[in-house]
Structure 1
Amino acid sequence: MTLTGALLIGQNTVTRPETFQALNAATGETLDTAFSCATADDVRTACTLADEAFDTFRATTPEARAQFLDCIADEIEALGPTLLDRAHAETGLPLPRLTGERGRTMGQLRMFARELRAGRCLDARIDEALPDRKPMARADLRQIRIGVGPVAVFGASNFPLAFSVAGSDTASAFAAGCPVVVKAHPAHPGTSELVGRAIQSAVQKCGLPEGTFSLVGGPDYALGAELVKHPAIMAVGYTGSRAGGLALSQIAAARPVPVPVYAEMSSINPVYLLPEALKNSAESLGTAFIASLTMGAGQFCTNPGLILALSGPDLERFCQSAQEALKTAPAPTMLTQSIHASYDAGVEKLAGRRGVSLLGRGPKGDASSCQAAVFTTDAASFMQDPIMQHEIFGSCSLIVACPDLDTLLALTRSLEGQLTGTLHLEDGDIAVAQTLMPVLERKVGRILANAWPTGVEVCAAMVHGGPFPATTDPRSTSVGTAAIERFLRPVCYQDLPDALLPAGLRSTNPLGLPRQTDK
């Protein structure tokens, strides 16, 4: 497939005189193809088409939407190496990583297709009439969940496939019966166009209204603001910086009709090295920590940015092991020059905080590479300085030494909300872990044992969310089958004739949905 640089507005391709070009992440050189910058009118057109498509799209059967999701996955697969090569050039991510991410992207599309076929996500409930109940009869009450309306999705920088144009936000919105308008990330417009054309093709092949999907792009932040402001948009999916997520949330809240923004923003993912585990495995834990920290240049929202342990010789052995592993740690290319600059600025800022010491730096690499950095501090300094809790997007982490378990618990209570919390423990640490668990459950969306937080399995039980500032809504997840719940709302039907009920609530249950029934 040849890139054109066009916007994808419904089934139309639109070009504009104002253009921009992507950069090769590794070399900084300008890549081929000039990409059109969308105008405010383009955004309005895309949103209007989405609004016009909504009633038709949400009325499709779960099977029809499942076939649509499967078709998108097939169309992405058919792009072959063209997609991977372009994503590699625009992001600097290695081809094996991108191959895996493409598989994850197709896998989550097909996962939502299976969820639709199972019918559980629609949560059909029936309380049949009780006309003879005393002292008051009960009406016939039936409930099902329907799509909220058109959804705006913002492509993420660090996952050009799995959290971008056809990523989890888009897949779950489509599964809910919601048209999607995607704002492509300006760092990988070619990757976005290729995937966008795959979705556009699937819309046509499945006979869906053209407004089911549109793709707009451009480097201007005002474009995203226009998208969130549009009255047709009923929810927003976003993965990115805290500043960006908060800005979109403020715009959405200030609308005449406010809408939810499901923003995944900032997390340093505390890792607890409990006493027995640290005593018996300090060296191996130190090596594994650096491997997790430097994976993918640390450009994961679940990167282990904070290590917590009790002071003493065991923690010193861990630090020595980590320091040694840093000497040969990889220095991969970062996604963009601006992300690289922000990383360097964050490392410099942390190095200047009172009470912070440098444990070590990894190899420097070339100008666009991520030089890993690990710092140490004490619990008192950490709790007195909120800056130490700020996420540094890249391979940077802070090791905090606590004098005792009470301090460790107090520090945990002082933490901001996180995506993950990890416990490295052995049988002798269970009592300590039991004291931490109630606090961690209030602070994080996923608790791990004896693992590292990098890597998010796409499955029914996964939660990729957490209390603020990890996300703007701690009740939600952006990964796993429960992600669809963000874009559904319940509707109750009281005493309606069968012919007026949604198919899933009719007496004959033609869709074969699982239903909760109380007679």
Structure 2
Amino acid sequence: MDGVVRAAWEARGSLVDRGVRVGFLRGAADLLEESSASLVEVADAETALGGVRLRGELARTCYQLRAFAEVVEEGSFLGVIIDHPDAGAVPPVPDLRRFKVPLGVVAVYAASNFPFAFSVAGGDTASALAAGCPVVVKAHPDHPGLSERVAGVLRRAAVRWGLPEGVVGLVHGFEAGVALVAHPLVAGAGFTGSVRGGRALFDAAAGRPVPIPFHGELGSLNPVVVTEGAAAERAEEIGAGLGGSMTLGVGQFCVKPGLVLVPASGEGDRLVEALAGVVAQAPVGVLLDGRMRDSFVAGVAQRAALVDVECPVEPGGEGERGVRAGFMTVPADRLTGPGAHDVLLEECFGPVTVVARYRQEAQVDAVLARVPGNLTATVHLSTAESRGEGRGGEWLGRLTPLAGRVLVNGWPTGVAVAPAQHHGGPYPATTSTSTSVGATAIERWLRPVAYQSTPQALLPPELRDDNPLGLPRRVNGRPQR
């Protein structure tokens, strides 16, 4: 591990040239596509996610690499700001020039459930390399062979662009992962995984003699609220959509809807019946590893045994390796007050969701007040409520404090790679306010520096008056292209 980190640290200067970074990122995407058949074969053997899903995820990974190449090429991510001297200001303003520089070596902790898009060549790696930071990835034990192969592809791309192989390092094992975040040459870390593991690494990053930023995605319940009006208009449609979303990928998506508040009325009954019809037809699936399967089987059994919890479609284990999708219903007031079923407000990884039935909107507010931070929060509104009539406009205000992405009349599974995307949220969804998806994910691996009263000849080219790199920037408060 120490040798890998030192090789990355020694390679940091090779990433200074933006043009080289652009070529490297695009070249890596090209090589991944050329190797797609063998990579998908290995990925399926290690994860059982299936060729269709994995080919789509690899395509997303290549798109991310190319998207960050465009970010680097355009240049706004550097945040160049120039203020010329102003002796008449109070206090006087000297010549100030500000831009962003890379942090240094970034540690990336790969996720289990996205062996391409959140792993060795995933968004954390792509954004860090785009920022000019070498990367050391701690491989996930659920796909070690794939991790080695993808790292090899990235290194070949690096060599083609005149970069040392050390710009992308790979380590395996629990001990290496723990030691990595403590290494004095590591300047930042990105993590996707469990609350327990992520919190331990977050505390270690903060407890170093020189603390470093730790951007962790830990866990999310992703609550959904269905209003009475929405259920009256399209109960069957919502129920079917929920069934598809919660069973997608055998329920192993970080944005799976895990808690759904539904009216305790005839309309709500129709929604639950439609949900049951879809979930009952879901095929038996295989989770990513035996530990996850054991946790899922034990977790659903614990929840199903609680007072007033019913299972219209019972989730659980099937055979030696499989799992059955299912869902539970519970009166909403069982989630609040003395003796509340707190475990139902915790994420259960796998194909299960909890449907809480409410009789008054006050019960919805009481439940939401107890929900921890999330990646997403969703509300399904009626046509009139969607036009802002009634109390429809209030729902965004109620859900915004809970999540980083708020959806109306949709489902959270499926995270588009787009400049406006935000994949993060209040703790424990993430340990910071940043996103791990979209163009602004690059900001995690940069820090601002301001130069004051510095002669032109000594300034970095990004900050010189003649703008030799053609960067977009703000000069004396006005944007310039």
Q: TM-score, normalised by structure 1?
A: 0.88
CA contact under 8 A between 1:305 and 1:397: conserved in structure 2?
A: yes
CA contact under 8 A between 2:380 and 2:410: conserved in structure 1?
A: yes
Per-residue CA deviations over 1:100-142 (Å, capped at 9, x if unaligned) read 0010000000000001111111110000122x42665421100
CA contact under 8 A between 2:158 and 2:164: conserved in structure 1?
A: yes
- Provide structure 2 residue ranges, at least 5 long, that are not aligned to the other structure: none
CA contact under 8 A between 1:108 and 1:458: conserved in structure 2?
A: yes
Match of 2:260 in 1: 307
Once residues 246 and 302 of structure 2 are traced to their aligned partners in structure 1, the CA distance between those partners, rounded to angstroms, is: 19
CA contact under 8 A between 1:57 and 1:178: conserved in structure 2?
A: no
Q: Relative to 1, partners in 2 of residues 1:434 and 1:135: Cα closer, same or farther, differing over 3 Å? A: closer
**CA offset at residue 365 of structure 1?**
5.0
Answering whether residue 212 of structure 2 is matched by residue 259 of structure 1, we say yes
SS in 2 for 1:194: helix
Moved more, 327-336 or 85-94: 327-336
Q: Give the 5 Å matches for 1:23-422.
A: 43-54=1-12, 56-60=13-17, 62-130=18-86, 132-133=87-88, 137-218=92-173, 221-361=174-314, 366-383=319-336, 384-422=340-378
- Corresponding letter in the other structure for 2:178: A
Counterpart pick for 2:453 among 486, 495, 502: 495
Q: Give the 5 Å matches for 1:480-519.
A: 480-518=438-476
SS in 2 for 1:163: coil
Q: Relative to 1, partners in 2 of residues 1:136 and 1:154: Cα closer, same or farther, differing over 3 Å? A: closer
Per-residue CA deviations over 1:308-339 (Å, capped at 9, x if unaligned) read 12221111111112122222112222111211
Per-residue CA deviations over 1:30-51 (Å, capped at 9, x if unaligned) read xxxxxxxxxxxxx111112222
CA contact under 8 A between 1:238 and 1:263: conserved in structure 2?
A: yes
- Provide structure 1 residue ranges, at least 5 long, that are not aligned to the other structure: 1-42
SS in 1 for 2:355: strand
SS in 2 for 1:49: helix
Q: Relative to 1, partners in 2 of residues 1:354 and 1:259: Cα closer, same or farther, differing over 3 Å? A: farther
- Corresponding letter in the other structure for 2:403: V
**CA offset at residue 149 of structure 1?**
1.2
Q: Relative to 1, partners in 2 of residues 1:347 and 1:139: Cα closer, same or farther, differing over 3 Å? A: same
Once residues 156 and 6 of structure 2 are traced to their aligned partners in structure 1, the CA distance between those partners, rounded to angstroms, is: 20
Per-residue CA deviations over 1:182-225 (Å, capped at 9, x if unaligned) read 0111111111111100111112111123431111113xx22211
Once residues 234 and 366 of structure 2 are traced to their aligned partners in structure 1, the CA distance between those partners, rounded to angstroms, is: 25
Once residues 77 and 394 of structure 1 are traced to their aligned partners in structure 2, the CA distance between those partners, rounded to angstroms, is: 30
**CA offset at residue 175 of structure 1?**
0.6
Per-residue CA deviations over 1:217-266 (Å, capped at 9, x if unaligned) read 13xx2221100010111111111111110010111111101112111111
Counterpart pick for 1:462 among 421, 424, 431: 421
**CA offset at residue 163 of structure 1?**
0.2
Match of 2:408 in 1: 449
CA contact under 8 A between 2:120 and 2:139: conserved in structure 1?
A: yes
Q: Relative to 1, partners in 2 of residues 1:288 and 1:363: Cα closer, same or farther, differing over 3 Å? A: farther
**CA offset at residue 507 of structure 1?**
1.4
Per-residue CA deviations over 1:12-41 (Å, capped at 9, x if unaligned) read xxxxxxxxxxxxxxxxxxxxxxxxxxxxxx
Match of 1:39 in 2: none
Q: How many residues align?
A: 471
Match of 1:34 in 2: none
Q: Relative to 1, partners in 2 of residues 1:363 and 1:137: Cα closer, same or farther, differing over 3 Å? A: closer
CA contact under 8 A between 1:347 and 1:373: conserved in structure 2?
A: no
Moved more, 274-283 or 160-169: 274-283
SS in 2 for 1:459: coil
CA contact under 8 A between 2:300 and 2:316: conserved in structure 1?
A: no
CA contact under 8 A between 2:64 and 2:417: conserved in structure 1?
A: yes
Q: Relative to 1, partners in 2 of residues 1:358 and 1:138: Cα closer, same or farther, differing over 3 Å? A: same
Runs of 4+ in 1 over 6 A off after TM superposition: none
Q: Relative to 1, partners in 2 of residues 1:134 and 1:389: Cα closer, same or farther, differing over 3 Å? A: closer
Per-residue CA deviations over 1:50-85 (Å, capped at 9, x if unaligned) read 22222x14522x222111111111111121310010
Q: Relative to 1, partners in 2 of residues 1:135 and 1:117: Cα closer, same or farther, differing over 3 Å? A: closer
CA contact under 8 A between 2:36 and 2:58: conserved in structure 1?
A: no
Once residues 283 and 504 of structure 1 are traced to their aligned partners in structure 2, the CA distance between those partners, rounded to angstroms, is: 57
**CA offset at residue 366 of structure 1?**
4.4
Sequence identity percentage: 41
Once residues 200 and 300 of structure 1 are traced to their aligned partners in structure 2, the CA distance between those partners, rounded to angstroms, is: 29
SS in 1 for 2:393: helix
Per-residue CA deviations over 1:466-516 (Å, capped at 9, x if unaligned) read 00111111x110000011111111000111122222211111211111001
Q: Relative to 1, partners in 2 of residues 1:135 and 1:224: Cα closer, same or farther, differing over 3 Å? A: closer
CA contact under 8 A between 2:242 and 2:275: conserved in structure 1?
A: yes
